[in-house]
Amino acid sequence: MQFFSGSTSTESSLLPAAPPGTGAGGPGNNAHMLYIFNRAGVCLLYREWNRPLRTLDPQQDHKLMFGLLFSLRSFTAKIDPTTAEKGNLGVPLLPGQGCSFYSFKTNTYQLNFMETPSGIKLILITHSRTGDQREALKYIYNLYVEYVVKNPLYVPGTPIQCDLFTKNLDQYVRTLI
């Protein structure tokens, strides 16, 4: 199977996405897309394995995704039924402050979310019936730490272009059920 990366670097043009049918139905390939954002909302990585429908162009899509997560975090912190003391709805939240959601499900996909204390947000979109992916996201974060953060040539805050990282990521995602 060929995996094409959707890098968000402004210089390079988008490589064509995997042709329809290569990802769907393959054994163990349950993931649709992966996004990695940093604190400022810069999309560090967008990886696509199986996406038949693309409603917006990539820049808009990333902004929409980041905006949705930002609002959802404010929403969950405010609607939390177990704490009485909550800030106002529009206040930006620090990573780890307030109750955070880790997953939501629709009839066609499931979005799994993880935010690290440094503000790195990992979003994994999978098929609707996958189980809890928190461990998978932790593993992917470890891959990020090993292959990206510890790479002396990587400039933090810029899109990720580390071959080892994407190779290991693809290999790992293929094993996800």
Pairing of strands 31-37, 110-115: unpaired
Which CB sits closer to other proteins, 48 or 120?
Answer: 48
Residues 100-129 contacting other proteins, CB under 8 A = 100-109, 111, 125
The label of the residue with tokens 């992916």 reads: 133
Residue 5 binding other proteins, by CB under 8 A = no
Residue 55 binding other proteins, by CB under 8 A = yes
Tell which one of 16, 40, 84, 135 touches other proteins (CB under 8 A): 84
Residue 175 beta carbon to other proteins: minimum distance, rounded to whole angstroms:
20
Pairing of strands 121-126, 31-37: antiparallel
Q: Which residues contact 23 (CB under 8 A, 6 or more apart)?
A: 1, 29, 32, 49, 50
Residue 80 binding other proteins, by CB under 8 A = yes
Residue 27 beta carbon to other proteins: minimum distance, rounded to whole angstroms:
19
- Residue 68 sits at the vertex; the CA angle it makes with 89 and 55, to the nearest 5 degrees, is 155
